[in-house]
Structure 1
Amino acid sequence: MKILFLTPIFVFFFISCSNSDSGTEKSEVQSTDSSEVVADTLADSVVIPELSEDLVSLLQKKTKEYDLPFELDSVGFAKLSEAIDKRLNSKEIKLLSQNLLDHEYTEEVNWRVEHLLKMEERKRKGGYEEYLNSLDIGMLRDIEASMGPILRIDEHSFMILWKIEYGSYEACPYYSGTLIIASLVYQNELKNSILVGEVSGGADAPVWGDTEVYSTIDSKGIRSIRKDRSCEGEEDEEGNEIIEEKTTDSYIHFEETGFRVEKEGNSK
């Protein structure tokens, strides 16, 4: 009789526990579904701003538009630098250079932008001819910035390529160069800029040096290779110049906050 009395109680306890577990599972499923709905709602509510008036005006000067990937090797560099011919004014230069990425590659750009803006001011105020008449060896003869194509990342994100070209008075010491800079526009907002191409050099015989920067740009980021060569005028036993070479390999990732250096190292 005791066994018969306990059996109904055991069955009742088992059913109660089963119902409790089912309720917990349903609650968890409902909670998960609710979280997914909230996440989807937040994603749908992201508002992409319109392009600023300054950017709209600037983009009227673009030469072409390319999809990624884009190869900026020696051949691509030559074609690109020849195709970039629409001059940038001081306001546009300041807009594009306002957030240069803190990186080894942009040290040269920062310095050139300072000289570029000073030269633009001379030309605007009518003092450029007087400046040319006062040129001496080693002085900057001219420097200009020009608008290039855009590289399309997606509907609301792209890179603006622009060029700085400069040269000194034609005597030793002499220097000249072409810089290609990429400015990132992410979801219609201008973020920052970084150097992606360079061909430059200078000499004060027998000392000389040159630099080349080429890049491969795809939907994930930019891989840049910088090659520096220099000679201090020294020769080996056979009379050949002793040339020092250094190669730096960098990967620049782009995200909603702008360009970010992911890795950097010396290859040689």
Structure 2
Amino acid sequence: MIKYQTTRLLPEANFSIWGIFFVSFSMSILACQNIKFETGEENPLFEEISNFSEIDINIIDSIYLENLESKYQDIPDLNSATVKELFEGYNQPETEIYQYEHISDFLKIDSLKGADSHEAYTQSLDIGMIRDAKAFKIGIASLGNDKKGALWGIWYSSYEACPYYHGLDLYLSVFENQKLKRTFKVGSNFSSVDPPVAVYNPISSTLNGSELIIKLESNEIDLMEDGREEIVKNQTQINDYQL
């Protein structure tokens, strides 16, 4: 079931671009434990994600992402081979809201770092080019009925000049009987600034048993000469999935 909702705000509305980036929340950062699932015979990909710490997944919202981004550098890396395999099951949502997957950004940076070429690359950056990116493990959760969900993320940031973009995207890869079924993007705080326009496209989600509800938003913001920021276009879409 897919629900669409599009709204337009009055021109007089005055919003802080940074204020909308973080909303009220009902969940704090992950409580990771050093517990692993007993898996028996495993395929290599499932064996890899079984090394994730056990977690509970309920709500992923802006504050969850904010807290996670504050410590992503200390979270164990996820290698590029695993990222590619997990993304093979990606469920592309049917939406008119612009969505760009930053997997390619991560793979490019990871390749440069593997070849000890990243530092040289950063010396020749130009506007709009990716500067740095990292993929990392978050945790694995039991979804019932022989299903597991691996939560992982990609942080990315472009060269610090306009246009500039940055964000953190979270993915949930669903396994059934140790086989990858689908991968969903369940969180994002993507933002882009290119005066006089800014874009903020948050994604949040709720997992309740086998029901996954994902909310996609798009906010187009005019940056006024007098310092005001005005949301001129807002789109919201809610997708409901049965895992």
TM-score normalised by the shorter chain: which range applies? 0.7 to 0.9
Task: Check whether the contact 2:174–2:182 (CA below 8 A) recurs between aligned residues.
Answer: yes
Distance 1:242 1:76 in 2: 24
With the length of structure 1 as denominator, give the TM-score of the two structures.
0.67
| 1:114-140 CA-partner distances (Å, limit 9, x unpaired) | 222122111111211111111112211
Deviation at 1:87, TM superposition (A): 0.6
State the partner residue of 1:77: 65
The residue number in structure 2 matching 1:260 is none
2:50 is aligned with what amino acid? Answer: L
Q: Give me the identity figure in percent.
A: 26
Give distance in 1, aligned partners of 2:164 and 2:240. 32
Within a 5 Å distance, the mapping from 1:76-95 to structure 2 comes to: 76-82=64-70, 85-95=75-85
Work out which of the residue numbers 51, 63, 66 in structure 1 matches 2:42: 51
- Bigger mean CA deviation after superposition, 139-148 or 49-58: 49-58
1:151 to partner: Cα distance: 2.1
Structure 1 residue 54, shift from structure 2 partner: 3.0
Q: How does 1:106-125 map to 2 (within 5 A)?
A: 108=99, 111-125=101-115
For 1:54, what is the secondary structure of its paired residue?
helix
1:133 partnered with 2:133: no
* CA shift in 2, pair 1:213/1:231, >3 Å: same
Aligned to 1:244: 233
> Quick one: higher RCO (CA 8 Å, sep 6+), 1 or 2?
2
Give the Å deviation of 1:92: 1.1
- Match runs of 1:125-204 below 5 Å: 125-154=115-144, 156-204=146-194
**Which runs of 5 or more residues in structure 1 are unaligned?**
1-47, 255-268
Q: How far 1:156 sits from its partner (Å)?
A: 2.7
Distance 1:97 1:240, change over 3 A: closer
1:83 to 1:148, Cα distance in 2 relative to 1, 3 A: farther
Who wins on radius of gyration, i.e. which is larger?
A: 1
What does the per-residue CA deviation read over 1:27-86, in whole Å, with 9 as the maximum and x for residues that have no partner? xxxxxxxxxxxxxxxxxxxxx9832133213322x23322x6x11123333344556511
In the other structure, the counterpart of 1:259 is none
Letter in 1 for 2:159: Y
Higher mean C-alpha displacement, 137-146 vs 73-82: 73-82
Task: State TM-score, norm by structure 2.
Answer: 0.73
Question: Deviations 1:146-184 (Å, cap 9, x if unpaired)?
Answer: 011112112631110100110011121111011010000
Indicate the residue corresponding to 1:103 in structure 2. 93
Contact 2:127 2:161 in 1 (8 A): yes
Q: RMSD across aligned C-alpha pairs, in angstroms?
A: 2.6
The structure that is helix-richer by fraction is 1
In structure 2, distance between residues paired with 1:71 and 1:56: 26
CA distance in 2, matches of 1:152, 1:63: 11
How many residues of Structure 1 are paired with residues of Structure 2 in the alignment?
A: 200
Structure 1 pair 49–253 and aligned structure 2 pair: CA distance change class (3 A): farther
Deviates more, 1:167-176 or 1:70-79: 70-79
Partner of 2:213: 223
Change (3 A) 1:240 1:122: closer
Structure 2: how far apart are the matches of 1:240 and 1:163? 30
Letter in 1 for 2:127: I
Runs of 5+ in structure 2 lacking a partner?
Answer: 1-38
**Does the 8 A contact of 2:222 with 2:229 survive in 1?**
no
- Measured in 1, the distance between the counterparts of 2:186 and 2:194 equals 27
* Paired residue secondary structure (1:159): strand
Alignment CA distance shift 1:240-1:189 (3 Å): closer
